[in-house]
Chain A
Amino acid sequence: MLLEARGLKKHYHTRSGTVKAVDGVSFALEPGKTFALVGESGCGKSTVAKLMLLLERPTSGGVLYDGQEVTAMRGRALRRFRREVQAVFQDPYASLNPRLRVGRIVAEPMMAQGDLDRAAIARRVAEALEVVGLHADAARLYPHEFSGGQRQRIAVARALAVRPQVVILDEPTSALDVSIRAQILNLLSDIQDEYGLSYLIIAHDLALVEHFSDATGVMYLGNMVEQGPTGAVFGSPSHPYTQALLASAPRPDPDHRLPTDVIIGEIGSALAVPPGCPFHPRCPRSFAPCDRENPERHVTAAGAWARCHLLHGPAPSLAPAPHTPERTLP
């Protein structure tokens, strides 16, 4: 367990009440593997990324890096954490300082670390640019001289230059052209294979997540509703929300009919998380216990777990008939 979230909660106190952005999330990144967080906007997945990067401090629960509580780290240990856990953000137009040359952008994390001399930093910059497939001359240019895909390569180079163990990827390809996305995803896979990095990827594109990750967590209103090996979560989704997400994903097939009855309404507000199962007001199969108690985890046959009352006992009428990704509703 390289980087681990344990009962992570982040509540924001506002004038209109308490926003429970993240409300008890646990998962672990294993060396060389990818964990994905999926869910709709407002589910708290980006807040989790900020907590894992220690850009925000949890209200309760913890983030452990190599077994050490991150929020308690000081001095040398904190500097090591800052070096070994890096991030690549969604928008490479916003994440690169337009006034700095690319060489300086990639060098800055190493300068902040302060343990390398100028010559060593210059060597690392050249290496990192080469790894991401950019020419060494790129170091002398400014971000505006690059396309979106190339800029995302620069952001990846900046994360790699300090030789991290973990990279947190927050929607790393959603700002890019479709034909460029595959280039960046393949690059990230190659880098992971070569350096044994762990990734935490946050994405709303489910097909991308299925392709790219080893384990997946599905978040809904600050809660993890289903979690496990990606093959299990995508192959036999157990939670009605996971099923609804998968069934709603448009497919490049004109004969595929998308169902409109798998989910009701829109995501609620983290200001007023519904009692019981947070998904019950949108669940077409909710029944008696759903608005009273949040279900316990239920380990599924496929080896994932989900929190849903349907898994603990039979629903009143309908036999559970999950929409598997292969199945099309009439």
Chain B
Amino acid sequence: MIVAGTDLTGLSDRELARDWRGRRISMVTQDPMSSLNPVYSVGDQVGSPLRYHGLAHTRAEARSRAADALGRVRIPSPEARLDDFPYQFSGGMRQRVVSAMAIACAPEVMIADEPTSSLDVTIQVKMMDLYQQIQQETGVAIVLITHDMGVAASICDRIAVMYAGRIVEQGPARALFRSPAHPYTRALLNAIPKLGEKTRRLYALAGQPPSLGAMPKGCRFAPRCALADAKCLAAYPGDSDLGSGHRAACWRLSEEGAPDAA
């Protein structure tokens, strides 16, 4: 796990807490209500990483920097809301508060785990737009974790598709959606209903993901894959390079070009 040339796995908990977490790498989780402490004001919570990391030395400085952060996530009249508590914010506004905490110390990396899944689509659009604006303003790299292919398509530059603990395909967003190579990626894209395309039946991937305790020996997707043969069941495939940073791990891919999954 290397951030800006430093391997985080080699650091002690103290070093991680002092120099990294919240400072250079931060996180936004799915449920804003459980990431906020209900009994502290929003100003205290957004200001706390700033004080902890020594970026604000006084209470007043922390408050003004917290108001800046709330302004950057487009919370209207941020100064007036510093003394409000999380329950006084709507779901969408709470997720903005959590995002303000995550960007308060101007980190290099922000991990956002399903940041919009608990929001309605009309609010989701605004959050995704906000993340793109924050990224343009601060240059933060965002790792977005999502199950929603639409959300991934709308804000990501690169996408990695995971299955049963491994990345099966990754590449530039456009390449991944325009020419998905791995049978699992293809199945996922085929299984979601799309607006404006009424189909009688959805393509349904049979079976279910393996349990983590009983992983298949070869390709982990092989038991559900229409193309799997003996080789797939025997050994995990290496990555095939498809050009421009597009890679997929599939035996059938290297054999006969793009397989047809659906």
Contacts and interface: CB of A to CB of B under 8 A. Distances in A.
Contacts of A250: 121, 124-125, 128, 148, 150-151, 153-154
Nearest to A249: B121
Interface string A200-236: 0000111110111000000000000000000100100
Interface in B153-203: 153-154, 156, 173-174, 177, 187-189, 191-196, 198-199, 201-203
B122 A244 contact: yes
B196 A254 contact: no
Interface stretch (B8-16, B51-59, B101-109, B204-212): B204-212
Nearest to B126: A260
B90 interface: yes
Contacts of B187: 179
Nearest to B151: A250
A186 B201 CA distance: 6
Contacts of B92: 266
Contacts of A181: 191-192
A40 interface: yes
Contacts of B173: 254
Contact of B188 (A178, A256, A325): A178
B170 to A, nearest CB: 14
A234 B196 contact: yes
Q: Which of A206, A249, A257 gathers most chain B CB within 10 Å? A: A249
B195 A210 contact: yes
Contacts of B122: 40, 244-245, 248, 262-263, 266-267
A257 to B, nearest CB: 8
Q: Which of A204, A206, A255, A258 gathers most chain B CB within 10 Å? A: A258
B121 A207 contact: no
A246 B201 contact: no
Contacts of B196: 210, 234, 325-326
Interface residues of A, number: 47
A120 to B, nearest CB: 32
Contacts of A262: 122
Nearest to B92: A266
Contact of B208 (A147, A249, A254, A259): A147
Contacts of B191: 178-179, 181-182
Interface in B200-252: 201-206, 208-209
Nearest to B120: A40
Q: Which of B191, B195, B202 gathers most chain A CB within 10 Å? A: B195
B209 A260 contact: no
A202 B149 CA distance: 21
A234 B198 CA distance: 11
Contacts of B174: 254-255
Contact of A249 (B129, B150, B203): B150
Contact of A210 (B121, B150, B198, B204): B198
Contacts of B120: 40-41, 204, 267
B132 to A, nearest CB: 10
B188 A207 contact: no
Interface string A174-196: 00011111110110010000000
B193 A210 contact: yes
A208 B194 CA distance: 8
A234 B195 contact: yes
A252 B202 CA distance: 16
B204 A182 contact: yes
B18 interface: no
B177 A183 contact: no
Contacts of A259: 125
A253 B189 CA distance: 10
A255 B90 CA distance: 31
B151 A266 contact: no
Interface in A140-171: 147, 149-150
B121 A248 contact: yes
A118 interface: no
Contact of B195 (A149, A212, A246): A246
A254 B156 CA distance: 8
Contacts of A255: 174
Given A178-B147, A185-B202, A252-B149, A266 B90 contact: yes
B30 to A, nearest CB: 13
Contacts of B125: 248, 250, 258-260
12 contacts: A150-B208, A179-B205, A180-B208, A183-B206, A186-B204, A208-B193, A211-B199, A248-B122, A251-B194, A255-B174, A256-B153, A260-B129
Given A206-B195, A251-B153, 13 more contacts: A40-B123, A147-B208, A177-B208, A177-B209, A204-B121, A205-B193, A211-B198, A231-B198, A248-B124, A248-B125, A249-B121, A260-B126, A266-B92
Interface of B: 90-93, 120-126, 128-129, 147-151, 153-154, 156, 173-174, 177, 187-189, 191-196, 198-199, 201-206, 208-209
